[in-house]
Amino acid sequence: MKVSREELLHIAKLANLNLKEEEIDTYLLHLQDILNFANIVGNAKVEGLQETIGANDNYNVFRKDEVKIFENNEGLLQNAPEKERNMFKIPKVIQ
């Protein structure tokens, strides 16, 4: 599949990444290269095979509905770039 410049920019937007003008061609080339290689999965004989979900056969692993308070609440906020009244501060978001 051929990746267009517009597609690459759309993908970058979804991933919240800026691509500098001079980077775009390199990213495009590398992405195309890797996808060309990845296309090989299309040749694998997988008819009738289930998709693997998760790397092992665990299932029904649940937690009891019991409250445990995390003891280091302070530590959860100590890395915040900006905070106010114990909340993370960001530029005003209009909903």
Residues 61-90 touching other proteins, rule: CB under 8 A, are 61-70, 72-82, 84-90
Instruction: Say how far apart CA 66 and CA 57 lie, in whole Å.
Output: 26
Number of residues that bind other proteins (CB under 8 A): 72
Interface with other proteins, residue 4, by CB under 8 A: no
- At closest approach, how far in Å is the CB of 63 from other proteins? 4
- Residues from 45 through 64 that contact other proteins (CB under 8 A): 45-46, 49-56, 58-64
* Residue (of 54, 9, 10, 8) closest to 31 by Cα position: 8
Residue selected from 2, 12, 21, 25 as contacting other proteins according to rule CB under 8 A: 12
Instruction: Say how far apart CA 46 and CA 40 lie, in whole Å.
Output: 12
Interface with other proteins, residue 38, by CB under 8 A: yes
Instruction: Say how far apart CA 72 and CA 34 lie, in whole Å.
Output: 43
